[in-house]
Amino acid sequence: MLGAILVLSGPSGCGKSSLVNEILKEYHDIYFSISTTTREIREGEEEGVNYHYISKKQFEEEIEAGLFLEWAKVHDNYYGTSLKSVKKALDEGKLVIFDIDVQGHEIVKEKFNDILTSLFITTPSSEILKQRLVGRGTDSLEVIEKRLLNSRQEMQRLGEYDFLLVNDNFEETLAMFRFIVGASRMKIDKKSKDNFINTWYNT
């Protein structure tokens, strides 16, 4: 059977990366899709670990060549997902986890809806989100304001997701995240379902 897909969305600063890092320590058949971006690399980040960093010109050329499963322009920078890597992981029966915005979720849903589980992660309030963004000290106040504005817009599309996690207590949120990961791994594509039904009837 093919693998499955779990899409994570939510504002920057809500804890998505920390949750994913914990899950990757526990499972070996999960492929975390590393996005390609045109934004500047931050202190402490690594090429091929956090993102693949390329120029805007190269990104736009790859859009034209159809090399992205999904892509979006956020905060004046491009972000996108390699289609080739995702297909390879699915063929190997892995759970593919995406950390993408609401625009990316919409595109992935159009292409892989039968094996897709979606999860929106956020903070208890916009004020707490602002505190976390300021506290981590990686963005200017101008960028933080852009992120807060974007998060308010994304919250309007919360109803498009299967699950919601409010990350107030990390350990409790992680425990619930494990359940969602387990459920998403059980998603089966239509072709595999049909093949199983035919085999079940004829054996």
The letter for the amino acid at 85 is: S
Q: What are 79-96's pLDDT values in tens digits?
A: 988 888 898 899 999 999
Q: Which is nearest to 14 in space by CA: 128, 118, 96, 97?
A: 128
Lookup: tokens for 128:
């707490």
Residue 12 has a pLDDT of: 83
Q: At 26, is the pLDDT very low, low, confident or very high (cuts 50, 70, 90)?
A: very high
pLDDT-derived band at 120 (thresholds 50, 70, 90) equals very high
CA 173 – CA 161 distance, rounded (Å): 17
Q: What is the pLDDT of residue 85?
A: 84
Residue 1: what pLDDT?
A: 62
The model carries a pTM of: 0.80
Per-residue CA distances from 99 to 28, 82, 196 (Å): 18, 13, 31
Domains annotated for the chain, with CATH where assigned, are 4-201 (3.40.50.300)
